[in-house]
C-alpha cells in the first residue's frame, strides 16, 4: 500500500498509526496541498492528504481509509462493534477531524504551512480565531478523558488515534498537551503516544521535520 502525504498532517499520521497497529506495511509517498504531481492527483482528486493506493484501489480521506483498512484487516479492531461504543468512537473521530481540526489547522496553516512551506502569506486573524477557539475544545477533551485507559470503553480505538494525532500536530504551534492545565488529557496523550505503533511513526516524523522545519523537529 502507498500512503500519500507528510506526517505533519494529523490525518496522515492517523492513517499511519492505524496501519502500524494492524501490522500492515506501507510505502510513504509524496503529495499535499499545492502538489501538481499527476500520480498524487490521480489518487486524491481534490489534492487532499491522506490518500492511498492499495494494489490499484485508490481512496482519499482519512476516515474512509480507516474504514477500508478496518474491513480488510479486522484485527486488532480499532472500531468497536458494540453499538454505543461504535457511535462514540465515530463521534471522536469526527470531532477530531472537524471541530478540533478546524480550529487547530487555522493556526497551523496560517503560521507554518502557508508561510513556511507553501510560500503563501498567513492570515494572522484566522490564526488568532483558532487560538480563541482552542480553550473550549481542550476543556471539553479534559472533561471526557478517563483517568486511566482509553477514550471509548476498555479498548484502544480510532477515537484515541484521531484526537491524539491532532494534539501532536498542535505541538508545532505551541498547543500540545498541557499537563498543568489539562492533566487527564496530557496523561492519556502520553499513554497513546507511548504505543509502539506511535513511536515508529514519530521516528519517521522527526526525520521528516528535521528536513523541512528543523526548528520545530523537537517540539
Ligand X SMILES: N[C@@H](CCC(=O)N[C@@H](CS)C(=O)NCC(=O)O)C(=O)O
Pick between residue 63 and residue 184 the one whose CB is nearest to ligand X: 63
What DSSP character marks residue 8? T
Pick between residue 61 and residue 205 the one whose CB is nearest to ligand X: 61
Pick between residue 33 and residue 149 the one whose CB is nearest to ligand X: 33
- To the nearest whole angstrom, how small is the minimum distance from the Cβ of residue 109 to ligand X? 8
SS3 3: strand
What are the angstrom distances between the C-alpha of 207 and each of 22, 82, 166, 176, 198?
23, 39, 19, 19, 14
Binding residues vs ligand X (CB under 6 A): 9, 11, 33, 47-50, 61-63, 97
Q: Is 144:184 a contact under the CB 8 Å cutoff?
A: no
Q: Which three cell numbers stand for residue 124?
A: 494572522
With 0-12 / 13-18 / 19 or more C-beta atoms within 10 angstroms meaning exposed / middle / buried, residue 140 is middle
Pick between residue 172 and residue 182 the one whose CB is nearest to ligand X: 172
Least Cα distance to 139 among 178, 97, 93, 89 occurs for 178
Largest CA distance in the chain: 47
- To the nearest whole angstrom, how small is the minimum distance from the Cβ of residue 150 to ligand X? 21
Pick between residue 58 and residue 63 the one whose CB is nearest to ligand X: 63
- To the nearest whole angstrom, how small is the minimum distance from the Cβ of residue 148 to ligand X? 29
C-alpha–C-alpha distance, residues 130 and 114, integer Å = 15
- To the nearest whole angstrom, how small is the minimum distance from the Cβ of residue 174 to ligand X? 18
Q: Which three cell numbers stand for residue 12?
A: 496522515
- To the nearest whole angstrom, how small is the minimum distance from the Cβ of residue 187 to ligand X? 26
Amino acid at each position: 500500500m502507498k500512503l500519500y502525504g507528510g506526517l505533519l498532517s494529523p490525518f496522515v499520521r492517523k492513517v499511519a498509526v492505524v496501519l502500524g497497529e494492524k501490522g500492515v506495511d506501507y510505502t510513504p509517498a509524496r503529495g499535499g496541498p499545492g502538489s501538481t504531481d499527476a500520480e498524487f492527483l490521480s489518487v486524491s482528486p481534490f489534492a487532499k492528504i491522506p490518500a492511498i493506493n492499495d494494489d490499484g484501489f485508490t481512496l482519499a480521506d482519512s476516515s474512509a481509509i480507516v474504514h477500508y483498512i478496518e474491513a480488510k484487516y479486522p484485527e486488532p479492531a480499532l472500531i468497536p462493534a458494540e453499538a454505543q461504543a461504535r457511535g462514540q468512537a465515530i463521534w471522536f473521530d469526527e470531532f477530531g477531524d472537524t471541530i478540533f481540526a478546524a480550529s487547530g489547522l487555522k493556526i497551523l496553516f496560517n503560521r507554518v504551512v502557508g508561510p513556511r512551506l507553501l510560500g503563501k502569506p498567513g492570515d494572522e486573524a484566522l490564526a488568532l480565531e483558532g487560538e480563541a477557539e482552542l480553550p473550549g475544545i481542550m476543556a471539553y477533551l479534559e472533561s471526557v478523558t478517563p483517568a486511566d485507559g482509553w477514550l471509548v470503553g476498555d479498548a484502544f480505538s480510532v477515537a484515541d488515534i484521531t484526537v491524539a494525532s491532532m494534539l501532536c500536530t498542535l505541538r508545532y504551534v505551541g498547543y500540545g498537551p498541557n499537563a498543568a492545565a489539562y492533566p487527564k488529557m496530557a496523561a492519556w496523550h502520553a499513554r497513546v503516544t507511548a504505543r509502539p505503533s506511535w513511536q515508529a511513526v514519530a521516528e519517521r516524523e522527526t526525520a521528516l521535520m528535521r528536513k523541512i522545519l528543523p526548528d520545530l523537529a523537537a517540539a
